[in-house]
Amino acid sequence: MKEGVMGRKVAIVGTGQTHHKARQADMNITEMIHVAVKRCLEDAELTMDQIDGVLIGNMEHFEGINLSDMWAVDASGALGRYGMKITTGGSTGTSLSMAAYYHVASGLFDIVMAIGWQKQSEGETTAGLISATDPIWERLGFAGAFGTFGAAATQFMKEYGLTEEHAAKVAVKNRQNGRRNPYAHLKLDITVEDVLKSPMLAYPVRMLDMCPASEGACAIIMACEEKVKKITDRPAWVAAAVTRHDAPFIGDVPMFMDLRTLRSAAKEAYARAGIYNPLKEIDVIELYEPVSWAELSFIDALGICERGEGGKLIDKGITYMDGECPVNPSGGVLCTNPIGATAMLRVAEAAIQIRGQGGERQVPKKVNTAVATGYGGNWWSDLMILKSSL
């Protein structure tokens, strides 16, 4: 094992998710959670009796449900066993995934399930986002998430010469990928022209550049090496799990398009996983991009290209399904965004690619190394590297 890596090897042995929608009118919250848990257990061929602990989380102030972990114990399977609630904003799902990894790698438990969820129609997400900012210095500038993204994208265009067409290509790529994903919320057959004609939200961010508000749940199961051997012959091993937090003002928009937290997390994660040439050694990336412009920026923070050259990657087709480094074959956040589960979906979809379970969204080449990222809070970044073997 490399220095800094915990003593026990850990792998993802099961994933499960709901079919995501704008509104889950046919299910209440606990039923939605139960669907993800049931599908995850079925994928791993395990029963709830074999799960040692359950970690669960969402952006609880969006629905206004306090102690949501205790409230959902019947649906999550946490009744009578160890449990923990985690909430870290948009990065909740990766925080849950990493916490599950730590619980197993540390030797505390052998098999742990993590669950992320959100049901936004039963709350007010925009009100929750806006009220999270400083009322004097930040609130007017924030104006909802897309206000910040628009200001940051404008500076990105000026500094690196990217255009609205580059962002539109990202939006089209991911939406077309989402059409291959049976669980995705948005399945849009769109063109670059459609994106450029869609309503302007905050220049240069347009409606089709932005992620949707989705409802759904996702669950993953982590197991130690001894248990993995008995559960599956297709594990997705955790090679690295790194998190970086920052605390700027929302108005520090240059930091969004030069995400130092992700850049720092990637540097440490690559060192742990033995990755020296990310473009050549990473087979697929599930990137948390809340807006098309973020993919153009975050991809260089991952070291896949030089700063400001994300547009060149999309122009050359490198990040497409059949490209050298596919990004978001699931459709990503631009297609599905149940906030408490969004980052976990990145981890689950990366594991699905490693395990060869992607169906129509499976990339055509053999996937040995996959990267999943989470983004949230004030420029917080999580990064997990999964491998087919360690």
pLDDT for residue 196 is more than 90: yes
Q: Average pLDDT over the chain, rounded to whole?
A: 91
User: Six-digit token pair at 227?
Assistant: 């248990």
What is the reported pTM?
0.94
Residue type, 324: E
For 224-253, write each residue's pLDDT tens digit: 999 999 999 999 999 999 999 987 766 665
Pairing of strands 53-57, 200-202: unpaired
pLDDT for residue 212 is more than 70: yes
List CB contacts of 4: < 8 A, sequence separation 6 or more.
Answer: 271, 272
Could you tell me if residue 162 is inside a domain?
no
pLDDT for residue 171 is more than 80: yes
Q: What's the average model confidence in pLDDT over 176-203? A: 96
Instruction: Indicate the pLDDT class of residue 2, thresholds 50, 70 and 90.
Output: very low
Q: Residue 126's pLDDT is what?
A: 67
Could you tell me if residue 353 is inside a domain?
yes
Asked if residues 168 and 196 have their Cβ atoms less than 8 Å apart, the reply is: yes
State the CATH number of the domain containing residue 263: 3.40.47.10
Token look-up 């009220």 returns: 131
Instruction: Indicate the pLDDT class of residue 213, thresholds 50, 70 and 90.
Output: very high
Could you tell me if residue 299 is inside a domain?
yes
pLDDT for residue 266 is more than 70: yes
Could you tell me if residue 148 is inside a domain?
no
What CA–CA distance (Å, rounded) separates 22 from 170?
Answer: 22
pLDDT for residue 6 is more than 90: no
Could you tell me if residue 189 is inside a domain?
no
pLDDT for residue 67 is more than 90: no
Q: Residue 379's pLDDT is what?
A: 80
Instruction: Indicate the pLDDT class of residue 146, thresholds 50, 70 and 90.
Output: low
Is the peptide bond preceding residue 204 cis, with omega within 30 degrees of 0? Answer: yes
Could you tell me if residue 255 is inside a domain?
yes
Q: Residue 164's pLDDT is what?
A: 97
What CA–CA distance (Å, rounded) separates 61 from 54?
Answer: 21
Could you tell me if residue 132 is inside a domain?
no
Could you tell me if residue 326 is inside a domain?
yes
Asked if residues 390 and 9 have their Cβ atoms less than 8 Å apart, the reply is: yes
Give me the percent of the chain exceeding a pLDDT of 90.
77
Q: What is the 3-state secondary structure (H, E, C) of the chain?
A: CCCCCCCCCEEEEEEEECCCECCCCCCCHHHHHHHHHHHHHHHHCCCHHHCCEEEEECCHHHHCCCCHHHHCHHHHCCCCCEEEECCECECHHHHHHHHHHHHHHCCCCCEEEEEEEEEHHHCCHHHHHHCCCCCCCCHHHHCCHHHHHHHHHHHHHHHHCCCHHHHHHHHHHHHHHHCCCCCCCCCCCCCHHHHHHCCEEECCEEHHHECCCCEEEEEEEEEEHHHHHHHCCCCEEEEEEEEECCCCCCCCCHHHHCCHHHHHHHHHHHHHHCCCCHHHHCCEEECCCCEHHHHHHHHHHCCCCCCCCHHHHHHHCCCCCCCCCCECCCCCCCCCCCHHHHHHHHHHHHHHHHCCCCHHHCCCCCCCEEEEEEEECCCEEEEEEEECCC
pLDDT for residue 130 is more than 70: no
pLDDT for residue 19 is more than 70: yes
Domain with 269 in it: 10-125+212-387
Question: Which residues lie across from 381 on neighbouring strands?
Answer: 244, 375
pLDDT for residue 42 is more than 70: yes
Total of domains in the chain = 1
Q: Residue 4's pLDDT is what?
A: 44
For 332-387, write each residue's pLDDT tens digit: 999 999 999 999 999 999 999 999 999 999 999 999 999 999 998 778 899 999 99
Instruction: Indicate the pLDDT class of residue 1, thresholds 50, 70 and 90.
Output: very low
